[in-house]
Chain A
C-alpha cells in the first residue's frame, strides 16, 4: 500500500470515517436531524472524493480491490442513491416515534459494503463486501421493529441472505479448487489453459450464479422479494431495490466480463433461462397484486430480467445498456418508493392501491411525479426508462438474441397493464375529501425533485451519460 493507493481508496475511507463519526455523534448527542445531516455530508464528501480518486485510476489496491473508472462510476451511483435515501428516510422516520439515528449508521455501512463490491477483484473482497452490505440490511429492514411486518421481513431477509451467501461460498470454493486462484483477472488466463476440471468450474459458477440470483431477486430465486419490499419501511425498500441490487449487478458484469464467461455456452444458457423466467414471472405475477410495494417488487424482478438480457449481449453495447439501464432503474425505483415514503404517515406505509385513488386531484405534483416514474418503468418515451429499454433491445438485437427480445417485448406489453392500474387509480375520482393531507417535508421534496429532473433530462438528452458510460471498461 502506498500513498497513491490511499488516494484511490478515498471514497471508501470517507464512508468508513463517516460511519464512525455518526456513531460518536450519537453517543454525544442523540438528534435525528444531526445524524441525518452528518450522514448526508459524509456521503456527499465521499461522492466529491470520486473526482480526486479519478486522477489515480486504474489502480490495484492490494490484490483485493481494483479501483478504476468503472468502479468509481458505480460508487458514484451508489452514493447518490444513498443520498436520496437519506433525504427520504429523514422525512419518513421523523413522523414515527422512537430513535432513528442508528439507521444511518447501518446505511453507511451498507453503502460501504456496496462500494467494496463494485471495486472488488477477488473472491475475498467480494464476500467481504457482500456481508458488509447484507448484515446492516437485516437491521434496516426490521428497523421499525414494533410493527409485525418489518420484523418478519427482517428475519426472512436474514435467512435468505445467509442461504445465498452459503451458495456463493461453496461456489467460490469449487472454482478456487479447480483454478487455484481467487483473483478475477487471473481466472481468465486459467480458464483458457487446459487441465482444469470443468466438473468443478461449471457447478461452481452455477452456485455463484444462484447466489447472485438470490441477491438480485431473479426468478426462480425471487420468492422473498415481495414480502421484504412490503414489510420493509419504504426508504429501506428503495435501498434494497436499488443499491443492493445495483452493486451486485455491477459486480456480476465485471466478474463475468473478466473471466470471459460470454464464451461459455452452459453459463450463458443458464442466464438466458433466468432472464426469460424473470421477465415472465415478474410481469405476470405483478398483475395479481393490489399492494403498490408488492407491484414494485414484481416489477423489479422483471426489470432485473431485462438487465440480464442486456448482460448476455457481450461487447460495448451491452456495457452501455446495462450502465444506462441501471441508472434509469435507480432513478425510477427510488422515485416510486420515494413517493410511497413521502405519502406514508405514522399509521403505516401508504402501500395499498386505494391510498392512491384520486391522488392527482389531491396532490397533483406528487401524483405527476409518480405517473412519470411509472411511465418510465413501462418504458414510455421522454423518460429515462424508455432510452434504457431501447438500449437493451438494441444490445440484444446486435447479437441476435431474438427469443429473449420477443419475450421482453411481449412481457413489457403485459407489464404495461399493472403500471396503468396504478395510473388509473391515481387519476380516478377521489371518493373521499379533497383534503391534501400534511405537506411533504423539504428533504423528501428535494429528493423527488432531483429524481424527476434526472428522469426527464436523461429521457430527452441521454448523450452526456451515454458518453460517460462508454468510457468505462469493466475489465
Chain B
C-alpha cells in the first residue's frame, strides 16, 4: 500500500463512509468532506518527491493482477505529467467544498459524497497504467458528475446532464472497442508493456488499423477536451452545473481528454497522429477563434467562461499536435494553468451568483464599489486568463505559440489572434460586471469576500503567480516526460522513413504495411 494507493483510497473510503452520515445535516457532511479532501491533498503532496528526483520514470507503481483472462491488472503509477494533474485534482476538491459550504443547502450529504467519488475517479484516470483500468476510472468519474449537474444544477440541469453523459459515453464506448482490439493484437492491456512492444518493433499497427484506432481514441478524448465542433455539450453542462461542478468539470475533467491525447494517442498511434495532425490543428485553431468570438457575445457569465475554455483548450490541442518539445510542454503547462485560472473564474462567478442570484451579466454593474476585494481577485484571475506576463497562462501560451511557430509559422499567427480576442472578451466582461452603473440589487445584495471564501480563492491566486513566475518548479518534470513521449512517437515514423527511404514522412506513413515484412 504505497502513498499513491492511499491517495486514491482516501476519497473512495470517504465516499463509502459518507453514505452512513446522517441525512440532511449539512454541517456534518461538509466538515467531513473538507477533512477527507484536505487529508487527501496533503497526502498527495508527498507524491511529488520521488517524481521530482527522477522525472521520466514511473513512480509509485503498483501492479497486481485483477482479472486473469483477459489479462487485466490494477496497474497505477505517476510520472512528471500525471503527478501534477493528480495534485490539481486534490487541490481543487477542498476548494470546491469550501465554495459549496453555504451554497448547497439541499441534500448536502449526497452532494459531498458525490464530490468525493468524483475526486476518486478523476485522480484514478491520471494514474491508471492499464487501459482497462483507465476506462473504468474514466467512466467512474462520469457518474458523479452526471449527478452533480443533474441534481444540484439550475433550471435546465436534466437536459444538460443527459447531454453531457451521452456525448461522453458515445466517445468512450468507441474507445473501449479500440482498446479491446489492441488487446487482441498485443495480448495485454498494460500500457507500458504495449509501448515497449511498439518501441521494440514486436508490435506494429498498420495504417489500415492505426487510423481507425486513433480515431476511436481521439473521438473519446476530443469530446472531452472539447475540440470544435464536438464542444456543444460544454456550455450547457457549465451553464447548468453548480459552482463546484463547473470547477471540477473545467479544471480537471476536461484535462482527462487532453491527458488522453498526449498519453495514449501520440505514443500508441504515432503515424496516424502525425498524419491527422494538420486537420486536428485546423480544428483547434477554429476552436480558439470561434470560442473567443462566441464568448464575447454571451449574456450568461458561466457560458462565457465555458466558451473561453473552448478557446483555451484549443491551445492545448495545438501544442500537442505541433509535435514539438515546446508545444507539448506548453500544452501540459496550459492544462494546469487552465485548471487553476478557469477554476478560479468559475469560483468567482459562483460567488457572484451566490450574491446576486443571477448569471446574466446585464444584471450586474459597479460590483467593484460594492465588493472591492472580490473585484481584485477577479481582476487577477482575468489577467491570468488573458495571458498577462508574470501570471501563469502567459508561460503556457508562449510555449504553445513557440512550438506551433517552429512547426509551421502561420499556425502561431492564427492562434495569436485568439490571445488578442481573449483580452477583448475578458476585459469587456470585467468592465460590464465591475464598473459602470450599479443596479439597486447589486447595492443591497453584493457583499465582499468572507474569510471562508478568501481561504478558497487565495491558494488559486498564489498558484497563478507561482506558476507565472517560477515555471521551473514545474517544467523540468513535464519536459522530461514530453521528451520521452515525443521520442516514442517519432521512433515509429523515422523507422518507416528509413525503411521506405522516402523523405516525405506524410507520404511514408500512408503505406506502413511494409513494416510487417520486416
Q: Which A residues lie at the B interface, using CB under 8 A?
A: 320, 361, 364, 375, 380-382, 386-387, 390, 393-394, 397-398, 405-406, 409, 412-413, 416-417, 420, 424, 427-428, 461-463, 466-467, 470
Beyond known contacts A375-B143, A380-B142, A417-B162: 17 more, CB 8 A cutoff: A393-B180, A394-B70, A394-B180, A397-B177, A397-B184, A409-B173, A409-B174, A409-B177, A412-B173, A413-B166, A416-B166, A424-B150, A424-B161, A427-B147, A428-B158, A466-B67, A467-B68
Does the CB pair A413–B177 fall under 8 Å?
Answer: no
Whether B136 contacts A397 by the Cβ 8 Å rule is no
A427 to B146, alpha carbons, bound, how many Å? Answer: 11
Q: B136 to chain A: which residues have CB within 8 Å?
A: 381-382, 386
Asked if B69 lies at the interface with its beta carbon under 8 angstroms from chain A, I say: yes
User: Which chain B residue shows the least CB distance to A361?
Assistant: B107
Chain B, residues 150-181, CB within 8 Å of chain A (1/0): the string is: 11000000100110011001100110110011
Chain B nearest Cβ from A3, distance in angstroms: 38
Instruction: Check if A463 sits within 8 Å of B180, measured CB to CB.
Output: no
Q: Which chain B residue shows the least CB distance to A398?
A: B184
- B140 A381 Cβ-Cβ under 8 A: yes
Task: Please report the C-alpha to C-alpha distance between residue A382 and residue B158 in the assembled complex, in whole angstroms.
Answer: 24
Q: With A390-B180, A463-B67 given, is the CB distance from A420 to B140 under 8 Å?
A: no
Instruction: Please provide the chain B residues from 37 to 87 with a CB less than 8 Å away from any CB of chain A in the complex.
Output: 66-70
Q: Which residue of chain B has the shortest Cβ distance to A413 in the bound complex?
A: B170
Which residue of chain B is the closest to A378 with respect to CB atoms?
A: B169
Check A413/B162 contact, CB under 8 A, given A405-B177, A466-B69, A467-B68.
Answer: no
Is B183 interfacial (CB 8 A cutoff)? Answer: yes
Contacts of B139 in A (CB 8 A): 380-381, 386
Q: Which residues of B contact A412 (CB under 8 A)?
A: 173
Also in contact, A413 and B158, with CB within 8 A (given A381-B135, A463-B68): no
Identify which of A361, A397, A420 contacts B166 (C-beta below 8 A).
Answer: A420
Q: Is the Cβ of B181 less than 8 Å from the Cβ of A380?
A: no
Count how many pairs of residues, one from A and one from B, have CB atoms less than 8 Å apart in the complex: 68
Asked whether B151 lies within 8 Å of A427 as measured between CB atoms, the reply is: yes
Residue of B nearest to A320 (CB): B69
A96 to B173, CA, bound (A): 44
Contacts of A405 in B (CB 8 A): 177
Task: Name 17 A/B residue pairs within 8 A (Cβ), A-sorted.
Answer: A361-B107, A364-B23, A380-B139, A386-B136, A390-B180, A393-B176, A394-B184, A397-B180, A397-B181, A406-B177, A409-B173, A409-B177, A412-B173, A420-B166, A424-B150, A461-B66, A466-B69
Contact in complex: B177, A382 (CB < 8 Å): no
Q: Please give the distance in Å from A226's CB to the nearest CB on chain B.
A: 23
Give the distance in Å from the alpha carbon of A108 to the alpha carbon of B361 in the complex: 68
| Shortest CB distance A310–B (Å) | 13
| Cβ–Cβ < 8 Å partners of A382 in chain B | 136, 140
The 8 A-B residue pairs whose C-beta atoms are closest, nearest first, are A381-B136, A413-B170, A381-B139, A409-B173, A397-B180, A394-B180, A424-B158, A420-B162
User: Which secondary structure dominates where chain A touches chain B?
Assistant: helix
Question: Which residues of A have CB within 8 Å of B135?
Answer: 381
Residues of A within 8 A of B177 (CB): 393, 397, 405-406, 409
Residues of B within 8 A of A466 (CB): 67-69
For B147, the chain A residues whose CB sits under 8 A away are 427
Q: How far is the CB of B466 from chain A (nearest CB, A)?
A: 36
Q: Which residues of chain B have C-beta atoms less than 8 A from A393's C-beta? A: 176-177, 180
Q: Residues on B close to A: CB < 8 A?
A: 23, 66-70, 107, 132, 135-136, 139-140, 142-143, 147, 150-151, 158, 161-162, 165-166, 169-170, 173-174, 176-177, 180-181, 183-184
Residue in A closest to B183 when the chains form the complex, CB atoms:
A394
Question: How many Å lie between the Cα of A120 and that of B165 in the bound state?
Answer: 45
Q: Which residues of A have CB within 8 Å of B70? A: 394
The reply to whether B143 and A380 form a contact with Cβ atoms under 8 Å apart is yes
| Max chain A C-beta neighbours (<10 A), residue from B173, B183, B184 | B173
- CB of B68, distance to nearest CB on chain A (Å): 6
Whole-angstrom distance between the Cβ of B455 and the nearest chain A Cβ: 31
User: Could you say which residues of chain B place their CB within 8 Å of the CB of A320?
Assistant: 69
Complex alpha-carbon distance, A393 and B181, angstroms: 9
Q: How far is the CA of A417 from the CA of B159 in the complex (A)?
A: 11
- A393 vs B173: C-alpha distance in the bound complex, in angstroms? 10
| CB-based nearest A residue for B143 | A380
Residue numbers in A under 8 Å from B174 (CB-CB): 409
Contact of B169 among A394, A416, A467 (CB under 8 A): A416
User: A353 CB to closest chain B CB, in angstroms?
Assistant: 13
Residues of B within 8 A of A428 (CB): 158
Which residue of A380, A398, A461, A466 has the most chain B CB atoms within 10 A of its CB atom? A380
Residues in B neighbouring A386, C-beta threshold 8 A: 136, 139
Chain A proximity of B84: nearest CB distance (Å): 25
Residue of B nearest to A400 (CB): B184
Please tell me if the beta carbons of A390 and B176 are within 8 angstroms of each other in the complex. yes
Q: Which residues of B contact A361 (CB under 8 A)?
A: 107
Cα–Cα distance between A364 and B161 once the two chains are bound (Å): 20
Residues of A with C-beta under 8 A to B23: 364
Distance in Å from the Cβ of B135 to the closest Cβ of chain A?
Answer: 7
What chain B residues lie within 8 Å of A462 (beta carbons)?
67
B513 to chain A, nearest CB (A): 18
Q: Nearest chain-B residue to A375 (Cβ)?
A: B143
**Cα A417 to Cα B170 with chains together (Å):** 11
* Min CB–CB distance B218 → chain A (angstroms): 16
Cα A417 to Cα B163 in complex, Å, equals 9
Q: Give the shortest distance, in Å, between B165 (CB) and chain A (any CB).
A: 6
> Which of A380, A381, A386 has the most C-beta atoms of chain B within 10 angstroms of its own C-beta?
A381
A463 to B139, CA, bound (A): 21
Closest residue of chain A to B181, judged by CB?
A397
How far, in angstroms, from A393 to B183 measured CA to CA in the complex? 12
Whether A413 and B173, one on each chain, are in contact in the complex, defined by CB atoms closer than 8 angstroms, is yes
Task: Tell me which residues across on chain B come within 8 A of A427, comparing CB atoms.
Answer: 147, 150-151
What residues on A are CB-neighbors of B169 within 8 Å? 413, 416
Question: Which residues of A are found within 8 Å of B151, using beta-carbon distances?
Answer: 427
A416→B165 contact, CB < 8 A: yes
CA distance A364 to B184 in the complex (A): 42
State the CA gap A470–B169 with chains docked (Å): 30
Rounded to whole Å, the gap between the CB of A305 and the closest CB of chain B is 16
CB of B128 to closest CB in A, whole Å: 12
Cα-based distance from A185 to B295 in the complex (angstroms): 70
Measured between alpha carbons, how far is A382 from B257 in the docked complex, in Å?
Answer: 21
A70 to B353, CA, bound (A): 62
Contact B162 A424, beta carbon cutoff 8 Å: yes
Smallest Cβ distance from A323 to chain B, in angstroms?
13
Distance from B220 Cβ to chain A, minimum over Cβ atoms (Å): 12
Nearest chain A residue, comparing its CB with the CB of B68: A463
With both beta carbons as reference points, the residue of chain A lying nearest to B132 in the complex is identified as: A390
Report A-chain residues with C-beta under 8 Å of the C-beta of B67: 387, 462-463, 466
| A464, chain B: closest CB distance, angstroms | 10
Cβ of A363 to closest chain B Cβ, rounded Å: 12
Are A420 and B165 neighbours in the complex by a CB distance under 8 Å? yes
Q: How far is the CA of A50 from the CA of B450 in the complex (A)?
A: 68
CA distance A181 to B176 in the complex (A): 45
Distance in angstroms from B46 CB to nearest chain A CB is 27
In whole angstroms, what is the CA distance A411 to B70 when docked? 25
Interface centre among B66, B67, B162, B177 (most CB of A within 10 A): B177
Give the distance in Å from the alpha carbon of A394 to the alpha carbon of B150 in the complex: 33
Whole-angstrom distance between the Cβ of A414 and the nearest chain B Cβ: 9
**B299 nearest CB across to chain A (Å):** 27
Name, among A398, A413, A466, the residue most crowded by chain B CB atoms within 10 Å (CB to CB). A413
Q: Hey, which chain B residues are within 8 Å of A387, CB to CB?
A: 67
C-alpha gap A412/B176 in the complex (Å): 12
Residues of B within 8 A of A461 (CB): 66
CB distance from B225 to the nearest CB of A (A): 19
Q: Kindly state the separation between the CA atoms of A79 and B142 in the bound complex, as whole angstroms.
A: 36
Measured CB to CB, the closest approach of chain A to B291, in angstroms, equals: 26
**Complex CA distance for A364 and B21, rounded to whole angstroms:** 13
Docked Cα-Cα span, A394 to B135, in Å, equals 15
CA–CA, A412 to B147, complex, Å?
20
What CA separation (Å) do A405 and B143 show in the bound complex? 24
A28 smallest CB distance to B (angstroms): 47
Q: Which residues on the B side are within 8 Å of A470 (C-beta)?
A: 69
